[in-house]
Amino acid sequence: MHPSLKAFRSVCETVLTETSAPSRIVRRLAPHMHSLAKAAERILEPAHRRGDPDGYARNLIFSGDNGTLSLFTLVWAPGQWTPIHDHGTWGIVGVVEGVLEEQSFLRVDAQADLDRHDGIELSPGGLVLLPPGGVSTFVPDPDHIHETGVAREREPTLSLHLYGRVLNDFHVYDRIAGTRERMRVAYRDT
Ligand SMILES: [Fe+2]
């Protein structure tokens, strides 16, 4: 692993030993993600840049001890998007190349504070466009619900995604049915 990635991992692990509050974790690590994203072009390996014509690709860079941490590259062709989802943990996104869009959704049903998987009403919230070096963060409880991707008219995009667990599943939301379902989300080990 590149020394800069090792250093980033070490900073993450140090912060996690010093606080467990998601809002403090993302505040402390966001500047480090900004630095990593700006330097990533010379740090990342070919395996981190593998894409998939059938959908956005996830490449695992590292995961932390006890499943408390994971860093991925996500490789986006124009027009590739996630489904509407949440993560059940904190996260930090940093863009390396291209422009990544994040469309947020707000739960507007009366039972948003209950852990139910139906009767869900979502209303579109704000949109964020992240250029190279741009960083966004989110925290759980309530979960940050969003869809992420790259507009058809833009260039291919590469981004870094740090999470507070090994992210191999998440809730996927169906706005029409008003439901959500826990689904596996694939990744490749590098
Ligand atoms: Fe996400």
Distance from residue 4's CA to the centre of ligand 1 (Å): 24
Q: What is the pLDDT of residue 56?
A: 97
On whether the CB atoms of residues 93 and 29 are closer than 8 A, the answer is no
Dihedral sign from CA coordinates of 149, 152, 154, 157: positive
- Give the count of alpha carbons within 13 A of 162, CB side only: 29
Residue 154's CB is within 10 A of a number of other CB atoms, namely 17
Alpha helices in the chain (DSSP H): 3-18, 22-39
User: For the chain, what are the domain ranges?
Assistant: 3-189
Q: What is the pLDDT of residue 64?
A: 84
Distance from residue 51's CA to the centre of ligand 1 (Å): 18
On whether the CB atoms of residues 84 and 122 are closer than 8 A, the answer is yes
First to last CA, the chain: 10
Distance from residue 121's CA to the centre of ligand 1 (Å): 19
Tell me how far apart the alpha carbons of residues 113 and 111 are, in angstroms, rounded to a whole number. Answer: 5
- Which residue(s) pair with 158 in the sheet? 75, 97
Q: What is the pLDDT of residue 172?
A: 96
Q: What is the pLDDT of residue 67?
A: 85
Distance from residue 140's CA to the centre of ligand 1 (Å): 12
What CATH fold (topology level) applies to the domain 3-189? Answer: Jelly Rolls (2.60.120)
10-residue block means of pLDDT along the chain (190 residues)? Answer: 95 96 98 98 96 96 89 98 96 98 93 80 96 97 94 98 93 95 89
Gyration radius of the chain's alpha carbons: 16
Distance from residue 110's CA to the centre of ligand 1 (Å): 24
Distance from residue 181's CA to the centre of ligand 1 (Å): 15
